[in-house]
A and B are shown apart, each in its own frame.
Chain A
Amino acid sequence: MMTTNSTLIARKPLANLAQPLENVQSVKSMLKNGTDIIKTATQTGNSVHFVSFIASQLIRLGEIQGMDLFTATNSCTSCVSNEKAAVDRVKCAGCVFYRA
């Protein structure tokens, strides 16, 4: 456990963000091209959770539309658009209703 004095130290810079950055950019690229979350997660080696997190933030940033993300077939019980679906914890494409 760190001592109290260490609370004032500046954040240790995280070395080598290049690889995670490359990974994020490939995830983002696939999502923007309309690949669904599960497929994106599988192809990039990321968890569904992490990909859905990025997807939800990209929707907030206005970089992608929620409806374009999913290719699964279940209907969402929440989203007014009644667009495509939800698998695993990603409950809905339209409203990005997911278990965080």
Chain B
Amino acid sequence: MNIDKVSINPERATKRRLGKNSRVTLTLVGNPNVGKSTLFNRLTGSTQKVVNSPGTTVSLEEGESVIDNEKYKVIDLPGAYSLFAISPDEEVVAETLLGSANELNTKIRITKEDASTPNRARNVVVFICDLTSLTSSLYLYEQVKMLGLPVIFTTTMSDLAENRHQLCNTEALEEALGVKVVDVNPRKGIGIDDLQREIKYRAENQDLTKLEVTEIPSSLTELNEYVKKNADEHFAWVSKVESDFRDIEKGMELVSAGKTVAKKAEPKAETNLSDKIDKVLLHPVFGLIAFFATMYAILQATVVLADPFITFIEEDLGVWAENLIQMGFDAMGTGETWVADFAINGILNGVLSTLVFIPPMAIMFILLALLEDTGYLARTAFIADRFMRIIGLDGRSFLPLIVGFGCNLPSYEATKTLPDSRQRRLTAYLIPFTSCSARLTVYILLAYIFFPSYAGVAIFGMYVLSVVVIFLVGFILSRFKPFNGLEQRPFLLALPDYQMPEIGFMLRTTGTKLLMFLVDAGKMIVSITIILWLLQAIPAPGVNQEFAKVEDPHDSVYGVVSESIAPVFTPAGFGDWRISSSLVTGFFAKEVIVGALSQSYGVEDVTEAAEEGDSSNEDLRSFKDQMLDSFEVSSGGHAGLAGFAYMMFVLCYTPCMAAVAEARRVFGTALAIKQVIFGLVVAFALSTLIFQIGSLIT
């Protein structure tokens, strides 16, 4: 966004903050990593939803908080270091606050002119100050306060500040600032009641008739100029408050202890335990080893721990539910009708397809929360920053991408830790190119068929290619709008102290995220599964079979669709309907590509035999022969090359529907659609390139 062209749109700003009702809006403002989102989660529970800030690509979290039976709308603004905005996220913060201030001024004017108008402010800013990072918080606070908005000053991390012998007495801070300070620990739920009381009091007692109109900048450009012009005064104000804070706290301690108290240490003047741990974890060599070991452990733990739960859902729960539904329909005498088939293969299948993602997502979310809660997540950003800069991203983008190698789904949620919307979106475009574990089955099978002598190398090569594609695509995208220029931004990252995780809170937030996934993404997954069922249930024109009784998928509309798109893949060497149909099915779940191919080639599902490398399996051998034949025909004698191109296509094309549904939940419909199209284009381009160039050489 070019801020020179931005001016405040009162109508847009009003809609953003107040919606269409008269509820009080609480706007959470603070530096990144001050516990703002944790407080938001604590205040709103599971009522959160992601909305795009109007006219921008920045996502905001919105939720609802109930205090004494009154509902409040809560907006979690992105973290910002200053109202001098240097990223789209900070522009949204500045614009939202500026819009609120403009609106407040308008209301004050109206109230003064007409005493009969409501005189309560409908917007309260909750400013969150991390006491371990007081300086930068105060600097932002000074700018927010200048806008004249009702602000509640809230402090977090007071326990950590105390442990680190930093300034931590909130009563002393109150004296220094001259405003009430509410100390909270959102992770433990401490102080939330006090904050809610303060919010309620502010919402009910902000008398507009007693306020004066504040002179504020009229646009972001003016705001930037204002911040720049007054920077020295703001720095001086921060310095003075810190100095007063120190003196007052020291005085209070003297009074309470009745003896001389050692002067509080200057911030960060001594080496603490975190510094000692950092000497290893941020070490250029040991830090990298620890980093990759941690990432590997997370991926392995996700796969290993989730596996029994997935098997239970697919086999035990799935079979049990299917039998139960079938019995119900049998009892009604409709067990052989399309309705029973629809209930089992349409709806139940869709529900199970959603549920199987719960175990890996839950484990991944808990492990990621563990990393974040302990403070290691910020270190991973530091370690990964150097090589991520190559593609215009900073180190924080590495985590969502590495998570994608386990499963693409949790990656989208993991992008929320990124501070800049462009980074989040660019990362979202790259996530589908991370080769999730579901694609491994396809690689194993195709490597066994096309490259039997060096199957292991071929499979490993696909993972190397995945990394190459991510860097290649990232490098290219980062050169074009809207992603260019990311690498020029100063990388400002606070490293929090290491701390013990709050298990209860981690589990609660994980539960909330899973619930949101089930409700939002689950609807889409079930809908798409039903569409697939319909396509396979409707007989193709000219086929004399009943609805939902089509035995060969080729005789269904699904077969017609697959056949009609098959020629598209001819340039890539695999223009055969059986192969194209497997790609269509692969959109629903990558795990079922092998099953779909088996079905199309008329053999039993060979997924297990392929995974075990059971070359004596008759079905697998028959399948291999047929696959080789069809690839030989479709490629004009370059079966191996076409097989490689097909593997490349599977690596790059659209992620599964559950991942698309999750992308839509996190980023909105537009990005989810663009991402699918982009993936298809890249996959087609690369597979065609491989086949065409390879054909010329071989």
Contact = CB atoms under 8 A, between A and B. Distances in A.
Given A49-B268, A56-B492, A77 B284 contact: yes
A77 B386 contact: yes
A96 B152 CA distance: 30
B145 interface: yes
B171 A1 contact: yes
A23 interface: yes
B279 interface: no
Given A1-B171, A47-B267, A80-B386, A7 B179 contact: yes
B491 A25 contact: no
Given A60-B490, A95-B491, A47 B269 contact: yes
Interface in B573-627: none
Contacts of A4: 180, 197-198, 201
Contact of A79 (B227, B237, B491): B491
A97 B282 CA distance: 12
Interface stretch (B41-49, B238-246, B340-348, B663-671): B238-246
Interface in A45-99: 47-50, 53-54, 56-61, 66, 77-80, 88-89, 91-92, 95-99
Interface string B231-275: 111011101111110000000000000000000001111000000
A49 B485 CA distance: 28
Interface string B498-522: 0000000000000000000000000
A28 B232 contact: yes
A34 B121 CA distance: 47
Interface size class of A (residues with CB under 8 A): 35 or more
Interface string A18-57: 0011011101100000000000000000011110011011
B266 A47 contact: yes
Interface string B165-179: 000000100100111
A57 B145 CA distance: 18
B385 interface: yes
A50 B152 contact: no
Contacts, number: 142
B494 interface: yes
Interface stretch (B131-139, B426-434, B639-647): B131-139
B568 interface: no
B80 to A, nearest CB: 11
Contact of A60 (B84, B241, B382): B84
Nearest to A99: B495
A60 to B, nearest CB: 6
A87 to B, nearest CB: 12
A17 B198 contact: no
Contacts of A24: 232, 235-236, 239
B354 to A, nearest CB: 40
Given A4-B198, A7-B179, A78-B382, A14 B241 contact: yes
B268 A89 contact: yes
B410 interface: no
A10 B236 CA distance: 19
Contact of B239 (A23, A66, A89, A100): A23
B389 interface: yes
B395 interface: yes
A100 B180 contact: no
Contacts of A99: 268, 494-495
A59 B231 CA distance: 12
Given A7-B152, A21-B232, A24-B239, A80 B198 contact: no
B205 A20 contact: no
A50 to B, nearest CB: 6
Interface string B279-299: 000101001000000000000
A61 B267 contact: no
A84 to B, nearest CB: 15
Q: Which of B174, B178, B243, B494 has the most CB of A within 10 A?
A: B178
Nearest to A17: B236
B266 A49 contact: yes
Q: Which of B84, B86, B180 has the most CB of A within 10 A?
A: B180
A28 to B, nearest CB: 7
B322 interface: no
Contact of B174 (A1, A17, A47, A78): A1
A80 to B, nearest CB: 4
A7 B180 contact: yes
Contacts of A89: 268, 495
A50 B135 contact: yes
Nearest to A89: B268
A42 to B, nearest CB: 13
Nearest to A13: B178
Given A7-B152, A20-B243, A24-B236, A77 B382 contact: yes
A11 B145 contact: yes
B221 to A, nearest CB: 14
A13 to B, nearest CB: 8
Q: Which of B135, B198, B239, B243 has the most CB of A within 10 A?
A: B239
A20 B490 CA distance: 27
B529 interface: no
Given A4-B197, A20-B237, A99-B494, 12 more contacts: A7-B202, A8-B206, A12-B178, A20-B236, A24-B236, A57-B82, A60-B492, A77-B282, A77-B287, A78-B382, A96-B490, A100-B133
By Cβ-Cβ distance, the 10 closest A-B pairs, closest first, are: A12-B178, A100-B494, A95-B491, A20-B236, A80-B389, A100-B133, A21-B236, A7-B180, A78-B385, A24-B235
Interface of A: 1-2, 4, 6-12, 14, 16-17, 20-21, 23-25, 27-28, 47-50, 53-54, 56-61, 66, 77-80, 88-89, 91-92, 95-100
18 contacts: A4-B197, A7-B179, A7-B202, A8-B206, A17-B236, A28-B232, A47-B266, A50-B242, A53-B135, A54-B235, A56-B492, A59-B490, A60-B86, A77-B282, A77-B383, A89-B268, A99-B268, A100-B133
